[in-house]
């Protein structure tokens, strides 16, 4: 089996929901990013699963990623924690475990902040306000953890594109094909700025 060069861990955002592919499968930003980086499909491992939480990533996906650790790893997870059974301490500990164990001198790890998904959801305003408080808290935690671990973090909270309806699928939770493409291009730019010519050479 060819060595894995790019892995992605996380939830349905990583799985590719919102971006239909052939035969009823999901496409998403992971294969789009691989194409931009010149990584063939057989060297990409997408571990993202629908409704995954940070705890599930720690328990199930992280060991699999560490068993065959590639030079570039992406992690997007946490929204399912924030919209359901949110425990701030558990959330922080799980993120610290994930990024702390993945990062190292031989690996480039990237993630992204949490977009204003509550703005897209058909929920009462009181619950929307609660969700926004959680998302803001999560972004503060993520910022501190990524700084401590040297993880690259794409900040989407200040990007105007993510407030546009065409960037999201009908459910408001998952990016549209356009959103997935924008994310892939943004991550490719982030990797290029952070590592220069090293990323293509690593792949």
Beta partners for residue 154, in sequence order? 112
Q: Which domain holds residue 107?
A: 6-202
CATH code of the domain covering residue 110: 3.40.50.1110
What is the spatial distance between Cα 159 and Cα 74, in angstroms, rounded to a whole number? 20
In a domain, 1, yes or no: no
Q: Is the pTM of this model over 0.85?
A: yes
In a domain, 117, yes or no: yes
Question: What is the number of structural domains in the chain?
Answer: 1
Report the candidate in 183, 192, 194, 197 with the shortest Cα–Cα distance to residue 8: 183
Length of the chain in terms of residues written: 203
In a domain, 75, yes or no: yes
In a domain, 71, yes or no: yes
Q: Give yes or no for a contact between 110 and 151, defined as CB atoms under 8 angstroms apart.
A: yes
Which backbone phi and psi does 10 adopt, to 5 degrees?
145, -150
User: How much is the pLDDT for 104?
Assistant: 81
In a domain, 78, yes or no: yes
In a domain, 185, yes or no: yes
Which backbone phi and psi does 150 adopt, to 5 degrees?
75, 20
User: How much is the pLDDT for 185?
Assistant: 95
The 3-state DSSP class for residue 171 equals: coil
To the nearest 10 degrees (0 to 180), the angle between helices 177-195 and 29-37 is: 40
User: How much is the pLDDT for 202?
Assistant: 47
- Mean pLDDT, contiguous 10-residue spans, the chain (203 residues): 88 96 91 95 96 98 93 96 95 98 89 94 94 97 97 92 89 93 95 71 47
């Amino acid at each position: 089996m060819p060595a894995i060069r790019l892995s992605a861990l996380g939830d349905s955002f990583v799985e590719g929901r919102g971006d239909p592919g052939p035969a009823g499968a999901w496409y998403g930003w992971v294969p789009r990013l691989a194409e931009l980086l010149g990584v063939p499909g057989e060297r990409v491992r997408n571990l993202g699963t629908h409704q995954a939480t940070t705890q599930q990533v720690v328990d199930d996906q992280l060991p699999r990623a560490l068993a065959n650790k590639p030079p570039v790893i992406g992690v997007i997870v946490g929204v399912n924690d924030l919209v359901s059974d949110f425990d701030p301490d558990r959330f922080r500990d799980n993120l610290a475990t994930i990024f702390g164990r993945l990062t190292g001198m031989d690996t480039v790890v990237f993630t992204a902040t949490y977009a204003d998904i509550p703005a897209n959801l058909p929920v009462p305003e009181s619950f929307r306000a609660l969700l926004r408080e959680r998302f803001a808290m999560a972004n503060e935690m993520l910022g501190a953890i990524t700084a401590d671990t040297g993880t690259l973090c794409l900040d989407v909270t200040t990007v105007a594109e993510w407030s546009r309806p065409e960037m999201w699928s009908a459910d408001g939770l998952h990016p549209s094909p356009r959103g997935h493409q924008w994310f892939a291009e943004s991550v490719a730019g982030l990797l290029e700025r952070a590592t220069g010519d090293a990323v293509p050479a690593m792949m």
